[in-house]
């Protein structure tokens, strides 16, 4: 198995953090590592709990002081994972919305040769629970609109459970992403559309976080800018090819 690092932004997850870590460490993969990313938004002892598992050699607590929110934590986690020699990177939520029991699907598909693996709530076999109807409508409607505008054809354009071969992220300028919120998942899928990708069904459990109107309007604004921004994000890949 290739070195696989899970990047997981977490904040104020003291009640469940130990359980999540132990479930991941119990998976039958010797080369699977966990990088939880915390920032100043986390005000309980989540970071201390994570550090309590660093002695295993498979958990590393990343404190990101310059964080501008959860998306910046994802991107910083990717950078740290790449710097530490990850060959495969999995992105997942740390609040219990994504199940460690479904990680095997992502590793299996990467091992089959796929470059990107997208978790899908709307693919046959997937599901959503404990989430209000309006959030389901926004996720489904956002997927439909994104596919229409961007020319993609995925069943789920907004899920945050996904995996990449290292080369995919190495070939991007991770500092050039436009999204700071919910649109990030769609942005990533758009830039990766020419890679070999596949969707796998996931069971998503909703969180208590609310969705503000400005997040929706920001997402709509960014949606129509992605094609213009693509060259900037992928310029790193082009320069690498020229070298």
d(CA 238, CA 158) in angstroms, rounded, equals: 27
Give the phi and the psi of residue 8 in degrees, each rounded to 5.
Answer: -145, 95
Helix ranges, the chain (H): 17-25, 46-51, 70-83, 103-111, 133-150, 166-170, 184-191, 213-223, 226-242
Long-range contact pairs involving 48-53 (C-beta distance under 8 Å, separation at least 24):
49/14, 49/17, 49/18, 49/21, 50/10, 50/17, 50/21, 52/18, 53/18, 53/21, 53/25
For helices 133-150 and 184-191, what crossing angle results, to 10°?
30
Q: What is the pTM of this model?
A: 0.91
CB 103 within 8 A of CB 90: yes
Our CA angle for 70, 172, 161, nearest 5°, is 45
Q: From CA 114, how far away is CA 195, in angstroms rounded? A: 8
* pLDDT values of the chain reduced to their tens digit, one per residue, 243 residues: 689 999 999 999 999 999 999 999 999 999 999 999 999 888 899 999 999 999 999 999 999 998 888 899 999 999 999 999 999 999 999 888 899 999 999 999 999 999 999 999 999 999 998 777 777 788 888 899 999 999 999 999 999 999 999 999 999 999 999 998 879 999 999 999 999 999 999 999 886 555 555 667 878 889 999 999 999 999 766 555 444
């Amino acid at each position: 198995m290739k070195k696989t690092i899970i990047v997981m932004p977490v904040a104020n997850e003291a009640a469940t953090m130990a359980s999540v870590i132990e479930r991941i460490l119990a998976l039958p993969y010797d080369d699977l590592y966990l990088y939880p990313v915390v920032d100043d938004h986390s005000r309980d002892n989540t970071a201390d709990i994570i550090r309590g598992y660093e002695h295993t050699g498979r958990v590393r607590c990343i404190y990101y002081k310059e964080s501008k929110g959860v998306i910046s934590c994802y991107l910083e986690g990717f950078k740290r994972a790449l710097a530490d020699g990850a060959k495969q990177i999995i992105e997942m939520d740390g609040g219990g919305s994504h199940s460690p029991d479904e990680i095997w699907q992502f590793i299996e598909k990467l091992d089959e040769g796929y470059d990107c693996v997208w978790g899908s709530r709307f693919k046959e076999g997937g599901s959503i629970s404990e989430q209000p109807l309006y959030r389901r409508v926004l996720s489904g409607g956002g997927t439909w609109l994104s596919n229409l505008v961007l020319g993609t054809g995925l069943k789920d354009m907004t899920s945050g459970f996904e995996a990449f071969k290292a080369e995919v992220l190495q070939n991007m300028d991770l500092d050039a992403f436009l999204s700071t919120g919910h649109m990030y998942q769609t942005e990533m899928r758009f830039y990766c559309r020419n890679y070999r990708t596949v969707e796998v069904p996931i069971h998503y459990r909703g969180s208590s976080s609310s969705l503000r109107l400005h997040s929706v309007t920001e997402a709509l604004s960014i949606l129509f800018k992605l094609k213009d921004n693509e060259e900037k994000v992928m310029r790193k890949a082009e320069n690498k090819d020229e070298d």
